Structure 1
Amino acid sequence: MTTTVPFGLAEQTEIRAYTDFAAGSPTHLREALGIATLRVGPALALVIRADPSRFFNRVGGFRPDEPITPDTVARVCDFYREQGVPQGSFMIAPSMLPPDWAATAEKLNLTEGNRLVKLGLDIEAAAPAADGTRPLDPGLRVGPVGPDEAEEWATVMMTTFGLTGPGLIDMAAACVGRPDWRQFAVRDGARIIAVGSVFVNGVCADMFGGATLPEGRGRGAQSALLAARVAAARSAGCRWLVAETGAEGPGEHNSSLHNMLRTGFQPLYERTTWLWRE
C-alpha cells in the first residue's frame, strides 16, 4: 500500500468533516442557521446561510477518476445562488483541475483566493521529526472533552477563529460526542485554553479546528493536541491523517504548519481556494 494518502481520499475526508460538523447538527440548528448540502458526483457542497463570515460555504471532495466539467462547476454556482449566499468557495487539488479550468473560471466569475497547504501523515510509517515537538508546559494537561465541557470547548474554537455569528457556537458544541469525532482540549487548571478535533473517515482522518487562546500560545498546547489526535486516529484504525493550513508567503511564518511538520506531517500540495461571488 502506498505510504502517501491518495489525493482524492484526502479531499473527500476534509469536506466530509466540514459537512458532518455543520449538517450533523440537530434539526432546529440546521433550520435556524440555514444549513444546506448538495452532492455533485463525488463532491459535496455546504452552505450556512446565517454565517456572516462565509467560511463554511464551500465545495470539495473531487476525485481524479471523475473529471470536473463546466456543468459540475455551474451546478455548484447555481446552488450557492439558490441558497442566497453572496460567496462560496471551490476546494480543488491542483492535479484535479481540468485543462480548460481557466476558461471555466472566467465564464463563471471564479477568482483566486487564499492558498492552503494540504498535509498528510502515514500513521504506520511516519515518526516525528528529529527536532521533536515542544513539551507541554508544567501545569497544563491534555485530554478528551466530555459533554459537560462542550460549550466551553466550542467557544474557545469558534471565537479564536472569529466565527461568532448567532448559533455557530451552539452548532460546534453539538458536535461533541458525535460518532466519528474525537474532541480534545488543553486545560490550565479547570479552564480550557486550546482545542482540537479529529474526524474519522474510514482509513483516513482529518485534523479539524485546532485553536489556542492568546494566553495559551507558545506553551506546547498545539503539539500536545496533535499528538493526542494522532493517537486517537491510530486507535480508530486509520492509516492516514490529513490536515490543511495557510501557505507561507515570502517572509511569513505559520506556526501551525511548522507544528504539524515537527509532528511528522508531510506537505502533499498547495491548493488555491477559488471564490465564486454573486
Structure 2
Amino acid sequence: MLSETLISRIVQSEIDYMTDRMLAIKERPGNPEGIEIWQTGHTTCYYSETMPWASFNTVKGFRGEDIEHLDSILEFYESRGRNAHFELIPSFVDQTLMRTLSQRGLYQSGFHASMYATPVLQTNEKDDAAIRIRMIEADEFEVYARIHCRSTGLPNDGIPHVAGNNKVLYDRAGWFFYLASIENEPAAVGVMHVSNRIASFTFAATLPEYRGKGLQGRLLSERIHAAAQQKCELAVAQCAFLSQSHRNMEKAGMRIGYVRASWSQR
C-alpha cells in the first residue's frame, strides 16, 4: 500500500541515482561538465556548467522543514548564472512553503509522475520475435548516444558528450544499460540503476521511426525482470503524466506513487 514511508523510498531512490550519476560525470578527468553537488537539510542541489537543462540543475528532496535553507539554495544557483528548479513532492510540502516560493519569484512550471511496482520475474514467450533486448557492450556507447540524442531532439554534435557521460557508468556498481533492436537494427535504449534493493529506471528512448512497435514495453519488462533477479523490493520510474511512457508503465504493472510539481524561477 502507498504510504509516506514508501513515498520516501521512491524519493530517495531518485536522489541516489542522480547523485551517483552526477558524481561519475564529475570524476571524469578535469570535470569537463563542471558538475557540482551541494546538500543542505534534506535537500540535494545539482548543477552543471555545460549542461543547462533542468534535469542537471535541479533541487531534489526539498520539504517544508528546509524552508530556512531556501535563500541559500537560490543563491547557490544565482551565483552560477542558473535558474533554480525545485521538484516538490505533495506529502512533503505545505501552503507556507509554496507561498514562500511564489514570494521569492518562483512559479509552478509543470508536473511529473513517479511510478512504482513490485518487481516479479516475467516471461516474454508471446512477444514479437523480431525484437531483441540485450545489455550494451563497453564499445557501444556511441550507438547508445545516437539513439539518446535523436530520440530526445538533441543535435548530433551532442553525441560525443552523451557517450562520454554515460560510458563512465558502464563499470560503476548498480548501473545497467539495455539496447533494443528490431530486425537487428538498434532502435531503443533503457537504463536501470540498482541501490538499496530499489531499481530505478532512469532513462528510456526510442528512435522516431521505430515508435509504436512495442520496444519500450519490452524494455520495461526486461528491467522489471532484471530487478527481480537482483532481489529488488521496488522498481520506480518517472514519466510525464498521461504520456505514452505513462501508459507503457501502467501496462507493465506500474502505478502512480505521486505526481510531483516542478517549480522554476521566473
TM-score, normalization by structure 1: 0.84
Query: 1:102 Cα deviation (Å)?
Result: 2.8
Task: Select the residue among 50, 70, 73 that pairs with 1:73.
Answer: 70
How far is 1:29 from its partner?
5.9
The alpha-carbon distance between structure 1 residues 36 and 247, as it changes in their structure 2 partners (threshold 3 A), is: same
Which residue of structure 2 aligns with residue 257 of structure 1? Answer: 246
Contact 2:25/2:35, CA 8 A, preserved across alignment: no
Q: Which of 212, 232, 243 is residue 237 of structure 2 equivalent to?
A: 243
Go from structure 1 to structure 2 and tell me whether the alpha carbon gap of 1:144 and 1:168 turns closer, same or farther (over 3 Å shift): closer
Using the TM superposition, give the Cα deviation of residue 62 of structure 1 relative to its aligned residue in structure 2, in angstroms.
Answer: 4.5
Residue pair 1:230, 1:241 contacting (<8 A) in 2 also:
yes
What is the match of residue 146 of structure 1?
Answer: 137
Question: What is the TM-score normalised by the length of structure 2?
Answer: 0.87
Alignment of 1:201-212 (within 5 A): 201-212=195-206
SS of the aligned residue for 1:112 comes to strand
Structure with more helix by fraction: 2
**Equivalent residue, structure 2, for 1:273:** 262
* Cα displacement string for residues 181-240 of structure 1 (whole angstroms, at most 9, x for unaligned residues): 111110235542100111112122211111000122111110110011112211222101
Q: Distance in 2 between matches of 1:16 and 1:163?
A: 26
What corresponds to 2:89 in structure 1? Answer: 93
Give the C-alpha shift of residue 18 in structure 1. 2.1
Q: Distance in 2 between matches of 1:30 and 1:103?
A: 41
Change (3 A) 1:10 1:163: farther
Question: Is the Cα–Cα contact under 8 Å of residues 26 and 36 in structure 2 kept in the other structure?
Answer: no
| Secondary structure of the structure 1 residue equivalent to 2:45 | strand
Partner Cα separation in structure 2 for residue 178 and residue 14 of structure 1: 17
Alignment of 1:33 onto 2:29: no
Instruction: Report if aligned partners of 2:43, 2:66 keep a CA contact under 8 Å in 1.
Output: no
Task: Provide, for residues 233-259 of structure 1, a one-character-per-residue CA deviation record: whole Å limited to 9, x for no partner.
Answer: 1122210111111113xxxxx211111
Q: Deviations over 1:136-185 (max 9, x none)?
A: 54422001112121221133124422345472442123222321111111
The one of 169, 180, 185 equivalent to 1:186 is 180
Separation in 2 of the partners of 1:30 and 1:102?
38
Contact residue 11 and residue 61 of structure 2 kept, 8 A: yes
Identify the match of residue 232 of structure 1 among 217, 226, 233: 226
Instruction: For 1:235 and 1:158, locate their aligned partners in 2 and report how far apart those are by CA, in whole Å.
Output: 30
Residues 29, 119 of structure 1: CA spacing in aligned structure 2 closer, same or farther, 3 A cutoff?
farther
Q: Is the 8 A contact 1:151 1:173 kept in 2?
A: no
The offset of 1:123, in angstroms, is 2.3
How far, CA to CA, are the matches of 1:83 and 1:171 in structure 2?
A: 21
Specify the alignment match of 2:55 in structure 1: 55
Aligned AA (2:259): E
Task: Tell whether the 8 Å contact from 2:7 to 2:258 is kept in structure 1 after alignment.
Answer: no
2-side partners of 1:209 and 1:42: how far apart? 25
CA distance, structure 2, for counterparts of residue 30 and residue 57 of structure 1: 19
Q: Any idea what SS the aligned residue of 1:25 has?
A: helix
Moved more, 9-18 or 257-266: 9-18
**Which AA in structure 2 matches 1:35?**
I
* Cα distance in 2 for residues equivalent to 1:42 and 1:83: 22
CA RMSD of aligned residues (A): 2.6
Count of residue pairs the alignment pairs up: 262
Alignment partner of 1:175: what SS?
Answer: coil
1:156 aligns with 2:167: no
Structure 2, unpaired ranges of 5+: none
Deviation, structure 1 residue 45: 1.4
Q: How far, CA to CA, are the matches of 1:167 and 1:150 in structure 2? A: 10
Question: Aligned AA for 1:230?
Answer: I
User: 1:102/1:27 Cα in 2 relative to 1: closer, same or farther (>3 Å)?
Assistant: closer
Q: The residue matched to 2:247 in structure 1 has which SS?
A: helix
Identical pairs, percent: 25
**What is residue 122 of structure 1 aligned with on the other side?**
118
- Distance in 2 between residues matched to 1:219 and 1:194, nearest whole Å: 11
Structure 1 alignment gaps of length 5 or more: 249-253
